[in-house]
Amino acid sequence: MEHQQKGRTERKPESKTRLTNPQIETYYNISYTVVSLLFLSPFVGYLLAALLNNHIHHHLGQRGVAILGPLCRLVGFVPMACHPPYASLPVVLLVTGFGNGIEDSAWNAWIGNMHQANELLGILHGAYGLGATISPLVATAMVTKGNLPWYTFFYLMIGLDGSALFLTTSAFWRATGKVHRAAYTGTNEGKRTTTRHVMREPITWLLAFFLLGYVGAEVSLGGWIVTFMLRVRHAEPFAAGLSATFFWLGLTIGRVVLGFITGRIGEKLAITGYLSLSIALQLLYWFVPNFVASAIFVAFLGFFLGPLFPAAIVAATKLLPQNYHVSAIGFAAAFGGGGAAIFPFAVGAIAQSKGVEVLQPIVVAILVFILLMWWFLPGGLRRGGLERARNNHEKLGHEIRVAVGRLRRKQEPALH
């Protein structure tokens, strides 16, 4: 659908106040827990986006998403630039979370259905990572070198989001609700595939929770690196900001470079390898008490975490019927995006009493958990396994049940 537009859109970087946490704490004289509400409130917006994504597509099409997404972000950015009383910030960022959620779900589902989806999604998410790389650097320079208050960064974000509104609206102007309905009701004998229907599919929920954990780990790391480097590794403010830039730069490069490798060796095996390396690097980041080493570890950590989100989207397109894609991928992407809110909030709330050092064991636990979830996807570790699993109607945990059955058969002769 609208394939000719694929070069004209990119995933808009999300406002997660990654760098400005320490400045916001100081400006409003608030605690870790209170500032962490800025991460939690967008989660409600993401949940609403997960539930309403299919409805918006059905009635307004991609054009509706292209308009609503940037407008919702402006609703959050304009008040942030005006630095109102802190109590209003979580409220306006809820609307921003909704805008990010509907765009996350829409563009991932759209590109996930294209040919060479791993590579294209790697570029799409690489654009997100590039924005996340540049923004901490710019914000750091504005605050530490330019002696500007933290909220001036949002003047820049307002201008960029206004540009995004113009570009995405013009790119998707013809992608109306009528076009969407004609394309997707035709693949399902004239029936509409609803969000409620795809929520009955276990694979939808597994991918949703996988993305929830992944995004939570990504944004917990990216959002609290500066604070961790300042208060645990005792880095200078500008150096601490650069360490966050290294993480997002690694993420950007990893998404683009590894996107061309993932599809060639198979999503299941590739992500198993990337996650295993990420866990090892996270442990090194935790236990090696040196700033320079920590900065190197987080850069490589970003590199191997980068392709996880795109690969999960591609896995969904290979395991689910085509008429499920917009609803299921949209729900999983938006629900998973809520991890950007809930896990950084949890880190901040626990850090209030235990110290920001709690970041490390929490991220390790998340990475181990999503690796175990990934193994429950059917299809095995061989290339083409996901497609075979769909054709054979394999259920979640198929390989695990087969392995357990083989083990039992081997043990039976010994028991007799």
Q: Is 352 inside a domain boundary?
A: yes
Q: Is 65 inside a domain boundary?
A: yes
DSSP string, 78-118: HHHHT---GGGHHHHHHHHHHHHHHHHHHHHHHHHTSTTHH
Q: What is the rounded distance in angstroms from the CA atom of residue 149 to the CA atom of residue 410?
A: 68
Q: What is the rounded distance in angstroms from the CA atom of residue 295 to the CA atom of residue 211?
A: 25
Q: Is 328 inside a domain boundary?
A: yes
Dihedral through CA 220, CA 131, CA 23, CA 218, nearest 10? 0
Q: Is 254 inside a domain boundary?
A: yes
pLDDT value, residue 397: 78
pLDDT value, residue 213: 93
Q: Is 213 inside a domain boundary?
A: yes
- Identify which of 139, 132, 163, 156 has the alpha carbon closest to the alpha carbon of residue 70: 163
Q: How many domains does the chain have?
A: 1
**Radius of gyration of the chain from Cα atoms?**
21
Residue partners of 142: CB distance under 8 A and separation at least 6: 148, 152, 153
pLDDT value, residue 242: 85
Q: Find tokens 């683009």 and name the residue.
A: 256
Q: Is 278 inside a domain boundary?
A: yes
Range of the structural domain that residue 177 is part of: 3-375
Q: Is 175 inside a domain boundary?
A: yes
Q: Is 411 inside a domain boundary?
A: no
Residues of the chain with pLDDT under 70: 1-22, 32, 184-192, 412-416
Whether residue 386 contacts residue 379, with contact meaning beta carbons closer than 8 Å, is answered with yes
| Cβ neighbours, 10 Å, residue 361 | 14
pLDDT value, residue 379: 83
Q: What is the rounded distance in angstroms from the CA atom of residue 374 to the CA atom of residue 368?
A: 10
- The CATH number given to whatever domain includes residue 176 is 1.20.1250.20
Q: Read off the pTM.
A: 0.78
pLDDT value, residue 61: 92
pLDDT value, residue 296: 95
